[in-house]
Amino acid sequence: MILDLEARGVLDRLATRTSCREFDGTPLSRDTIRAVMRDAIEAPSSCNHQSWHFIVVTDRDKLARAQRISGGNLHFGTCGALIYLCFLNGWSHRHFSIVQSVAAAGYHMILSAHLRGISSIYNAGIGPSDEVRELLDLPAGYTVQGAIALGYTAPGTRLTKPPRRPLDDVLSFERFERPEAADWPQAPSDAYPYGDAESQLTPYAEWDPTRWTWDQIGDLRGYAVWAKSPIAGVYVSARQGTVMEGVLDLMPDLPAGAEVIDVMGWGGTEAARLLTRLPKGARLTLADLHDGNLTFMRQRLAAEPACTGRTLQSLRMRGPDLPRPDASADLVTLPLALEHAPDPAALLASIARVLRPGGHLLLAYRNAASPYGPYWEREEKPHQVSNQGPFRPLDPDAVTAMAGQHFDIVAEAGFGREATHDTEKLEGRELRRGRIHALLLQKP
């Protein structure tokens, strides 16, 4: 069947829709909102019950409160309207048909806004349900499914369409077929009942990276990194930023024109800070397992004011191998990534190969011998695998033994006395008890 040009044009325009996290604060009129919502309720619903309800918040004080409740959704405070998607409890079939119905209406809403030149973003993370209920004066018989922020994009913001999987990765005919890299592992089980894994707590999360292939880990990271937009400051918490600055304090002096490789950095978080520490003329290469993460990092770093004018290159890894000539780098940084590796020893060997004699590896990893180790086992491991991919905290004795096959230890540091949150720098005997253990290593 061949579409006429008008229909093809509409579909092509719909395909350009992407999420916006930086709005200019311009209010949306009630007439505009009603027009968008009139389109939204044309969506299909299970059994035509239409058991949905939509609560629009435009009051600036309430939007600021919605932002505080959500925790990290700064765009709640600057959007033109925030629309909460609700549904009536008790009218759902086994496969959550009412949730599907509300989702269909939400997407209709987003497409209607897009065709009108209005940007949008869907948010499942809206904050504690009791606080949202109080904000909306929501009756006990209703549940909030999520929220859609609508508004006009802030000037200078670059909206980027996240990468889509190749169609043949997600489509098969007559029987299930899917490439191994796109089929992420689950913990071994005779069966996988959906109801046992419908929330963040799941017995099927496979956190052991040795049960994943390098391609599977790259596949997850390459798409999941786009859970946020590639804008300045994304993926940086105060705690994380403080620790990373401490890790970078271990950096050696580098010559002008130094060759630096940042390996498996998540979303460019560490690279953004690393660039501010490099001498003029130094060249930074971003190395990762997937082109999606490399694209995200380059766009995010281009938005960082401190990174303007810096030289960046990209390097697609093939498993643990860095396709670079031997002895071609002065410094390699490995930020909280070794614990994600299916074969940490192979990754360290590859890094040693590309470093020049006298070159350095700056390594930081989550420490299994710290209070974080049992906390991860008890609190984090029972949850779904994070967007950064599977990992296991590593033992410092094992790491130093692996590293000792290729490097000499020049300096080390520990950060975080407690299992979470604190960033205290530890000294002496305590440094290997920090939540994050960092090493500056040198190739002989």
User: What is the average pLDDT value for the chain, to the nearest integer?
Assistant: 94
pLDDT in tens, 410-426: 999 999 999 998 899 99
Residue 94 has pLDDT above 90, yes or no: no
Q: Is the pLDDT of residue 92 over 80?
A: no
| Domain spans in the chain, listed from the N-terminal domain onward | 18-151, 227-442
| CATH 3.40.109.10 is the classification of domain 18-151 | yes
The reply to whether 227-442 shares the fold of 18-151 is: no
In this structure, what token pair is assigned to residue 28? 């949306």
At 397, the pLDDT band (50, 70, 90 cuts) reads: very high
The dihedral of CA 88, 93, 96, 98: what is its sign?
A: negative
Q: How confident is the model at residue 199 (pLDDT cuts 50, 70, 90)?
A: low
In this structure, the strands spanning 329-335 and 259-263 are parallel
**pLDDT for 209-242, tens place per residue?**
999 999 999 999 999 999 999 988 899 886 777 8
For residue 428, the 8-state DSSP code is G
pLDDT in tens, 98-132: 899 999 999 999 999 999 999 999 999 999 999 99
Give the pLDDT score at 91.
75
pLDDT recorded at residue 198? 64
pLDDT at 345 over 70: yes
The span from the CA of 215 to the CA of 218, in Å, is: 5
Residue labelled with tokens 């692996």: 402
Tokens representing residue 170 in the block: 């997600």
442 pLDDT band (50/70/90 cuts)?
very high
pLDDT at 78 over 90: yes
Q: How far apart are CA 244 and CA 260, in angstroms?
A: 17
Distance of CA 369 to the CA centre of its chain: 26
Q: For position 353, what pLDDT does the model report?
A: 98
Question: How do residues 353-380 score in pLDDT, each as one tens digit?
Answer: 999 999 999 999 999 999 999 999 999 9
**Nearest to 329, CA basis, from 306, 359, 302, 301:** 359
pTM: 0.91
User: In which element (H, E) is residue 111 found?
Assistant: helix 97-115
Summarised one tens digit per residue, pLDDT across range 241-277 is 789 999 999 999 999 999 999 999 999 999 999 999 9
For residue 95, pLDDT over 70 is answered with: no
Homologous superfamily of 227-442 in CATH? Answer: Vaccinia Virus protein VP39 (3.40.50.150)
What is the C-alpha separation between 238 and 269, in angstroms, rounded?
Answer: 12
Per-residue pLDDT reduced to its tens digit, 129-156: 999 999 999 999 999 999 999 999 999 8
Confidence of residue 183 (pLDDT cuts 50, 70, 90): very high
Q: What is the full DSSP assignment across 19-47? A: B---B--PPPPHHHHHHHHHHHTTS--GG
The residues with which 383 forms a beta bridge, in sequence order, are 201
Confidence of residue 311 (pLDDT cuts 50, 70, 90): confident
SS3 237: coil
